[in-house]
Chain A
């Protein structure tokens, strides 16, 4: 019970922090979001101390998402492919 309350306090503090540093760029906001997600996964979703197979599924999913987004960002970010927007 104490663990849940502490997790929630940490989440609220991090969300508030995120609000105050929002002008410092998206990278910092996403870093804070990652910490918040880790807290939710570890304590609310009980991955902390869970069976390894649960963690394998979770980590695999995270890796796939990162791979997908990094691949897209690496492509679009390094070439000027957008051009003017045509409705």
Chain B
């Protein structure tokens, strides 16, 4: 326990509020890009409509189910630690890590496909298939999903760290605030994707 706290419970309560504040500031990072996306979509509706038809709906949708399921498995991992079931907790974390990795791999497959078709970002965009403002859709597509994938990757690192800590027995049913906060981070990543999916893939 740090010396400025009266009790470990107080320290944990502060850590939880701090995590929520961090998630609040993280969400603003995405909010700026989403506002830009809204502005361009309103300005160039036809180009965005046509561009979104070229998003890979199958992979995007699979990734939606993958992330939703990973949120469940992270919640179950935390629940197992609350019950003192260390082995189950590690197992659920490993499943979550695998789901997160699946998400990233599918994302790379999507990027490779788009780049191959000339749907790249900024002045690397070479396709002439769509109305010119479609380059704005693809640039924001890379910015939004790239930033999000970076968060998925950071989340995977956090989950690996948590799995090692659970295996070592660092957490008890009464004291595991780092696990709670790590799980919150993962759920935020899920929350962001819940909005990116309809905006980027279902825009048709």
Contact = CB atoms under 8 A, between A and B. Distances in A.
| A and B associate in one complex | yes
Interface of A: 1, 4-5, 7-8, 11-12, 15, 18-19, 22-23, 26, 29-30, 32-33, 36-37, 40-41, 43-45, 51, 53-54, 57-58, 60-61, 64-65, 68-69, 71-73, 76-77, 81-82, 85, 87
A18 B21 CA distance: 30
Contact of A33 (B21, B76, B131, B198): B198
Interface stretch (B60-68, B102-110, B148-156): B60-68
13 contacts: A4-B75, A7-B72, A11-B71, A12-B69, A15-B61, A51-B16, A57-B20, A57-B21, A65-B31, A69-B31, A72-B36, A73-B38, A85-B133
A69 B202 contact: no
Interface residues of B, number: 51
Instruction: Among A4, A41, A45, A73, find the residue whose CB has the most chain B CB atoms closer than 10 A.
Output: A45
Contact of B17 (A33, A57, A71): A57
Given A1-B76, A15-B64, A68-B35, A29 B21 contact: no
A61 B65 CA distance: 26
Contacts of B47: 85
Nearest to B47: A85
Instruction: Among B43, B65, B203, find the residue whose CB has the most chain A CB atoms closer than 10 A.
Output: B43
A33 B75 CA distance: 20
Contacts of B183: 44
A40 B187 contact: yes
B17 A72 contact: no
A60 B79 CA distance: 28
A5 B72 contact: yes
Contact of A22 (B20, B191, B204): B204
Contacts of A57: 17, 20-21, 23-24
Interface of B: 13, 16-17, 20-21, 23-24, 27-28, 31-32, 34-36, 38-39, 42-44, 47, 61, 64-65, 68-69, 71-72, 74-76, 79, 123, 131-133, 135-136, 183-184, 187-188, 190-191, 194-195, 197-199, 202-204
Given A26-B203, A87-B135, A37 B24 contact: no
Nearest 8 Cβ contacts at the A-B interface: A82-B43, A29-B198, A61-B24, A22-B202, A8-B72, A85-B133, A57-B20, A65-B31
Contacts of B79: 1, 4
Given A23-B204, A57-B24, A58-B24, A44 B71 contact: yes
Nearest to A85: B133
B71 A26 contact: no
A67 to B, nearest CB: 9
B16 A11 contact: no
